[in-house]
A and B are shown apart, each in its own frame.
Chain A
Amino acid sequence: MTEEEAARTIWDGLKTAGINLVATLPDVNLAELLRAVEEDRDVVHVPLCREEEGIGVCAGAYLVGKKCAAIMQNGGFFNSNNAIVSTLLQYQIPLLLLIYYAGDVGDRTFSTSGAMTEPVLQALGIRYYVMRQPKDAAELIKRAQILAEDSKRPVALLLTKEVLGRRAALGASHPE
């Protein structure tokens, strides 16, 4: 799957899940996905200056009826932690977090960020899924949104280079 096709698959998955407001901050690996967001006139797109404000924007929009997703790098997830704890978790507000997994196995950069990403999610009690197979992306997004709404908590989807079409996906037998 090309990068463009992978981005389209993820974006279609978000639309099918009912997402109609998206807050974003760029990463080069998210470029095609963000292009799909920008081109879609049916969805409110909020380009951010810092990811933590996006947690506030999505919380406010949720309280008036929007279905929201925030797209960012894991560095931005670290930036957002106070808002995630004292707004999303404290008030029991759901939010789909799509986090680019910088420092994933095989990356040449950000290995420290990669090492801390899952432990921090676990410490916050946020359920998360590492997305590796582009063909499963849409269905996983749909299920994650159901989980977020039902649990009234944020749910994180970690976007790897594989699911973004930037690296070949390994076979199903690959030990995760």
Chain B
Amino acid sequence: MKRFDCLKLIAAEAKDALVVSSAGATTLEWNALRPSDGNFRVRTLGLCSSIALGMALGLPHRRIVALDGDGSLLMNLCSLPTIARMRPNNLLHVVFDNEVYEASGSKKTATASCTDLFAIARAAGIEKARWANSVEEFAQAVSAALKGEGPYFMGAKITTDRTEVPPYPMDEVENKYRFVRHVEKTENIEIFKSGLPASYA
């Protein structure tokens, strides 16, 4: 199974979902498939699911998708019990398991030898956990997860090949401003206030 094919399926169903992605090829491929200011790239390894959880709790009526990797999730496994405990029904946490630290020289992760992220998610208390063994199963699970009540966890073993896509088009601060302005516009709320007294204007 290729990550790019799985991402295409998510892009077809994601609509206005806010999407948080782990840095590296996942972010680049996703951004090529669904260019949007509603995409947020994560730079801290491990934090993808936690940032998505914060968004899901802050905007409970909006779909939030986390595009995570095995290396990233392994660094922040405690995110799973916290998600299970908080039960955000608008969160879909997707893990692409290629068994390597792809962005860091492709050394093997623990899932290459013995670790089962699906079993960990279940044991952490995430009832709606799925593991897809084919593109068809992945498509079915995505479709259900983007319509139903979560939190959902879904994963798939993927190959290590990358699709040629352009580099990420902006730095972190621009990503932040664009993302927040997108949320302000689509939710009709004000997040950034200048805070300056009128006399400064």
Q: Which A residues contact B (CB, under 8 angstroms)? A: 21, 44, 46-50, 52-66, 68, 82-83, 86-87, 90-93, 146, 149-150
Identify the closest chain B residue to A68 (Cβ). B54
B47 touches A64 (CB 8 A): no
B54 touches A149 (CB 8 A): no
The contact of B180 among A52, A63, A146, by CB within 8 Å, is A63
> Using a Cβ–Cβ cut-off of 8 Å, how many residues does chain B contribute to the interface with A?
39
Q: Which residues of A contact B189 (CB under 8 A)?
A: 65
The contact of A63 among B50, B86, B173, B179, by CB within 8 Å, is B179
A62 touches B183 (CB 8 A): no
Identify the closest chain B residue to A56 (Cβ). B50
Complex-state Cα separation, A93 to B76, whole angstroms: 21
Q: Which residues of A contact B176 (CB under 8 A)?
A: 63, 91-93
Q: A57-B54, A86-B44, A150-B195 are in contact. Are A64 and B78 (CB under 8 A)?
A: no
Complex-state Cα separation, A61 to B55, whole angstroms: 5
Q: Which B residues contact A (CB, under 8 angstroms)? A: 18, 20, 40, 42-44, 46-59, 62, 76, 78-79, 81-82, 85-86, 172-173, 175-176, 179-180, 183, 187, 189, 191, 195
A50 touches B78 (CB 8 A): yes
List 18 additional A-B contacts (Cβ < 8 Å) besides A53-B78, A53-B82. A52-B76, A56-B50, A56-B79, A59-B54, A60-B50, A60-B53, A60-B54, A60-B55, A61-B55, A62-B58, A63-B40, A63-B54, A63-B176, A64-B62, A64-B187, A65-B191, A87-B43, A146-B195
The contact of A90 among B49, B76, B172, by CB within 8 Å, is B172
B57 touches A61 (CB 8 A): yes
A57 touches B51 (CB 8 A): yes
**Which one of B43, B82, B180 has the greatest number of beta carbons of chain A within 10 Å?**
B82
Identify the closest chain B residue to A49 (Cβ). B78
